[in-house]
């Protein structure tokens, strides 16, 4: 166990060693100082699973349901167990610090990383994050709250200036971080890419120093987001302890110069180094070896937990005539673009190679005891699906293909040319940000990727190639796709890659074709690199798909649906449509999907429509649908979890963690989303999500907190116990709401009891109609009753941010506690604040 004497070690470090410790060594590790036995701490993405240290050809992992799915469970116990699983996964990969959870706010449905955060509501986000982190840190692994703060869009995320009022910053965007810290003291914070009111967060002393350090009294390590450091002296002085990743851009000789010219004081540098050394000690206590080999777990108990999480996250939005649950002994039809595709995760740094995935079709087939039929209907992919998993090695023995790296381009090789690296790959999407080989001296190399592809049926097949670098795809020696001669800038791979260049070829089903993909690394690219982010040696993706006739395919789906009593239509988005680096342009489903759903519902209104997405989509066919469920991106076990709910093995208990608007224009940030000339105005102020819809009287398609069950519940007997006011508000006066919850239906189920506070009218202050301040989840057998209570702090339940006083204000007046849950019935009781009082702090 490594435990440094911090002050002694600090006194023994020379200036250059101190400077070195304040930046990363590489993409995932801190700098070791061997002379003083200071080891290198390993970090890894989160939040949907633990990737390890490799984007390219990494060790597979457990992939969780996306965070909006976990948010929709409203289950703190489940989130703590999920955190424990992540802690074990981190340990298996030698990871000391998990880079998660993400707890930004979904102020718009278009946010590319919306799926990564829990909710549009800060209280729900912060409570769930706190228990998630408790679970992670119970395993000795440090958790990281990110992205601190207002990193709520991807458009120009590294340059955009977020213009936000102090009140909205406090009441909406800082709340999840503040609330999470009340539950668990995390090891790390990660700063956001963006500016706030003119200053990048990574060099914002008001945010890091005044609020986080002084007001909240948090003393862990603050790191930058990857490549999110923009200065030397300003960032050090503001409190940014660690620049990531390495090697440094800002803290080598530049920081030495800043110190010697007294732009950075020695004691300030010591503060930064002290926090790094404290993190080393935190890692040392974990008994996770430094520099450990990365391994996987994939334990049966983890699979069971992931299946439970996938099922419990599903939100049943409509079930007219009790169509669900379906009967396992009756035949069933599965239709739709997401049926045989595992949309298990959103895109970007949250994505990772899973141990396995279960598609909706596989999950339903596994559960059904009768015939299961399938029809595609439409495609949902934005770019062609990966070709690699459909390939075999040239010897026919393995799934995938062979990767051989060379120092010479193909035209310069001869019989003496030998590969400098040889790998067996299955995934034909390779992001080379952390690919290293000691035999490749610089950034330039070439790779041949070879295998065979045997299509299942005759047809015209499209092939596509995306690169950071250059690439050509050959089939039996014929050049089918050229993404080397002419290149166009695209949005893939964090906006650094080309568009997908395509070609097509008629293929015969059952015939094997030799595939050769020739790749050149990033220096061979013809694109101008304008990215702040350095993605190493480049990246590639090559895929294929059989071209379908849209009209004919929809007709086949409609015909099947018209003949079957039980039909499931699975549609939605995937990690291409929702991804880090790009925001969505609209809320619509992929082309052809709405037409497919609408026409299928015309012939069978009892089709169970299942939408997979991390954030809301438009539903122009909603009035035709009797059955609708939101299934999110469900992780490894998404197919099994979905089948469990559809067949009634699990009673759906999810509640929406965000509002689903009827149309994009109804969203409060509609006029103010995205960067305009380098700035974004948070013009909706504190009216984010449900706060706006309720204040403006705009009816959403489905409201925040909504979700149905296969049973019914009743809530009764609300009473309040309110602590008497004390001279000092920080003493922690409490409000406890007690009530009885009953399962009045015929099957076991779980009810989420939600506590809202409705404020009094206060002169010169506009406040939301009500705000969520507490919740609890209770499991009940048929006919069972339980007494439950929810306790909240009075100061937190009643306060708003007073911009003149620069403090929280709990104004005197009569407040109302509202209790809601499944169904529209609400209970209410009133309490009073006798005297206006003001406070700051956690």
Q: In sequence order, what are the residues at sequence separation of 6 or more whose Cβ sits closer than 8 angstroms to the Cβ of residue 766?
A: none
Assign 644 to helix, strand or coil: helix
Assign 672 to helix, strand or coil: helix
End-to-end alpha carbon distance in the chain = 33
DSSP per residue, 777-827: EEEE-TT-EEEEEEEEEHHHHH-EEETTTTEEEE--EEEEEEEE-SSS--E
Catalytic residue of the set 225, 434, 594, 802: 225
Chain centre distance of CA 294: 23
Between β-strands 800-802 and 807-810, what pairing exists: parallel, antiparallel or unpaired? antiparallel
In this structure, the number of other CB atoms found within 10 A of the CB of residue 260 comes to 10
In this structure, the number of other CB atoms found within 10 A of the CB of residue 10 comes to 16
Structure tokens given for 114: 């919306």
Q: Tell me, what DSSP letter sits at residue 64?
A: P
Cα-based distances in Å from 629 to 318, 483, 607, 706: 7, 40, 11, 12
Cβ 154 vs Cβ 581: under 8 Å: yes
Strand partners, 7: none
What is the sign, positive or negative, of the torsion defined by CA atoms of 164, 168, 173, 174? positive
Instruction: Identify whether 225 is a catalytic site residue.
Output: yes
Round to whole Å and give the CA distance between 539 and 433: 8
The dihedral over CA atoms of 477, 478, 482, 484, expressed in degrees to the nearest 10, equals 40
Cα-based distances in Å from 72 to 316, 388, 780, 842: 11, 34, 19, 26
The dihedral over CA atoms of 493, 497, 499, 501, expressed in degrees to the nearest 10, equals -110
Structure tokens given for 106: 């979904």
**Residues with catalytic function:** 225
């Amino acid at each position: 166990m490594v435990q440094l004497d911090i002050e002694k070690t600090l006194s023994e470090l020379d200036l250059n060693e101190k400077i070195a410790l304040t930046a990363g060594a590489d993409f995932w590790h801190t700098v070791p100082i061997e002379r003083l036995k200071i080891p290198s701490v390993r970090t890894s993405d989160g939040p949907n699973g633990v990737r390890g240290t490799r984007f390219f050809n990494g060790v597979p992992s457990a992939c969780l349901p996306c965070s909006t799915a976990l948010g929709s469970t409203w289950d703190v116990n489940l989130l703590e167990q999920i955190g424990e699983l992540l802690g074990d996964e981190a340990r298996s990969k030698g990871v000391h610090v998990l880079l998660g959870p993400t707890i930004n706010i979904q102020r718009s449905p278009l946010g590319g990383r919306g799926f990564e955060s829990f909710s549009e509501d800060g209280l729900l986000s912060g409570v769930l994050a706190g228990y998630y982190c408790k679970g992670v840190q119970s395993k000795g692994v440090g958790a990281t709250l990110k992205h601190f703060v207002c990193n709520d869009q991807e458009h120009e995320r590294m340059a955009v200036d977020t213009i936000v009022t102090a009140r909205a910053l406090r009441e909406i965007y800082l709340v999840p971080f503040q609330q999470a810290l009340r539950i668990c003291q995390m090891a790390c914070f990660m700063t956001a890419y963006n500016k706030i009111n003119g200053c990048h967060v990574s060099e914002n002393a008001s945010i890091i120093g005044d609020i986080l350090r002084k007001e909240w009294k948090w003393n862990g390590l603050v790191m930058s987001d990857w490549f999110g450091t923009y200065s030397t002296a300003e960032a050090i002085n503001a409190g940014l302890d660690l620049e990531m990743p390495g090697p440094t851009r800002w803290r080598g000789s530049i920081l030495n110069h800043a110190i010697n010219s007294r732009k950075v004081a020695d004691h300030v540098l010591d503060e930064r180094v002290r926090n790094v050394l404290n993190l080393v000690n935190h890692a040392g206590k974990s008994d996770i070896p430094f520099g450990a080999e990365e391994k996987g777990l994939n334990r049966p108990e983890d699979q069971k937990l992931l299946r439970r999480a996938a099922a419990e996250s599903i939100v049943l939005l409509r079930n007219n005539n009790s169509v669900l649950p379906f009967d396992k002994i009756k035949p069933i039809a599965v239709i739709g673009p997401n049926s045989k595709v595992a949309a298990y995760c959103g895109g970007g740094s949250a994505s990772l190679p899973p141990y396995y995935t279960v598609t909706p079709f596989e999950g339903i087939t596994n559960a059904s005891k009768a015939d299961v039929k399938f029809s595609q209907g439409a495609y949902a992919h934005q770019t062609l699906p990966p070709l690699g998993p459909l390939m075999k090695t040239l010897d026919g023995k393995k799934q995938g293909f062979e990767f051989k790296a060379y120092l010479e381009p193909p035209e310069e090789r001869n019989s003496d040319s030998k590969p400098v690296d040889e790998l067996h790959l299955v995934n034909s999407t390779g992001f080379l940000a952390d690919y290293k080989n000691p035999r490749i001296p610089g950034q330039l190399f070439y790779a041949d990727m070879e295998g065979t592809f045997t299509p299942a049926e005759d047809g015209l097949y499209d092939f596509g190639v995306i690169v950071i670098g250059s690439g050509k795809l050959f089939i039996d020696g014929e050049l089918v796709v050229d993404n080397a001669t002419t290149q166009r800038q695209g949005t893939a791979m964090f906006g650094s890659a080309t568009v997908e260049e395509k070609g097509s070829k008629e293929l015969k089903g059952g015939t094997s074709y030799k595939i050769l993909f020739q790749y050149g690394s990033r220096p061979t690219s013809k694109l101008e690199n304008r990215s702040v982010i350095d993605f190493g040696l480049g990246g590639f993706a090559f895929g294929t798909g059989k071209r379908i006739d849209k009209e004919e395919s929809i007709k086949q789906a409609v015909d099947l649906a018209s003949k079957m009593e039980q039909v499931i239509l699975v549609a939605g988005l995937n990690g291409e449509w929702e991804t880090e680096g790009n925001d969505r342009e609209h809320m619509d489903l992929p082309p052809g999907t709405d037409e497919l759903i609408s026409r299928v519902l015309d012939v069978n209104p009892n089709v169970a429509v299942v939408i997979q997405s991390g954030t809301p989509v438009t539903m122009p066919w909603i009035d035709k649908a009797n059955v609708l469920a939101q299934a999110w991106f469900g992780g490894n076990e998404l197919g099994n979890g979905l089948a469990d709910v559809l067949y009634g093995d699990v009673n759906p208990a999810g509640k929406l963690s965000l509002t689903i608007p009827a149309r994009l224009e109804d969203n409060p940030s509609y006029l103010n989303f995205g960067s305009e000339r380098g700035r974004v105005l948070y013009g909706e102020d504190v009216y984010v999500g449900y706060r706006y819809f309720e204040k403006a009287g705009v009816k959403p398609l489905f409201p925040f907190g909504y979700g149905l069950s296969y049973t019914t519940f009743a809530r009764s007997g609300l009473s309040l116990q309110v602590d008497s006011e004390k001279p000092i508000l920080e003493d922690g006066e409490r409000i406890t709401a007690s009530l009885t919850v009953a399962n009045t239906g015929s099957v076991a189920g779980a009810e989420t009891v939600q506590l809202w506070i409705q404020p009094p009218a206060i002169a010169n202050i506009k406040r939301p109609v009500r705000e969520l301040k507490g919740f609890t989840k209770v499991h009940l057998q048929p006919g069972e009753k339980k007494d439950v209570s929810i306790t909240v702090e009075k100061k937190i339940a009643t306060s708003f941010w007073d911009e003149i006083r620069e403090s929280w204000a709990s104004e005197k007046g009569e407040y109302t506690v509202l209790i809601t849950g499944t169904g529209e019935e609400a209970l209410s009781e009133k309490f009073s604040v006798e005297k206006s009082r003001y406070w700051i702090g956690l």
